[in-house]
Amino acid sequence: MAFESFAELLAMGGHGAYVWSAYGVALGILIWNIYMPLRVRRQFLRQQARLARRGGEMQ
């Protein structure tokens, strides 16, 4: 272990803000990457369900 306590881990030797904001950005971008395809899929399926209820695709 490189750290003695949890507080030291948070502080990162005085550079905590930089290290943790970098990982925060990373987490945000990873979550965006997971969320986007799920949202597209859900919207697509909803749209197809609506079309099916109206009796087949119109186009």
Give the interface with other proteins as residue ranges (CB under 8 A). Answer: 1-3, 9, 12-15, 18-19, 21-23, 25-26, 29-30, 32-34, 36-42, 44-46, 48-49, 52, 57
Q: How far apart are the C-alpha atoms of 45 and 30, rounded to whole Å?
A: 24
Rounded alpha-carbon distances, angstroms, from residue 52 to 4, 30, 38, 40, 58:
61, 34, 21, 18, 10
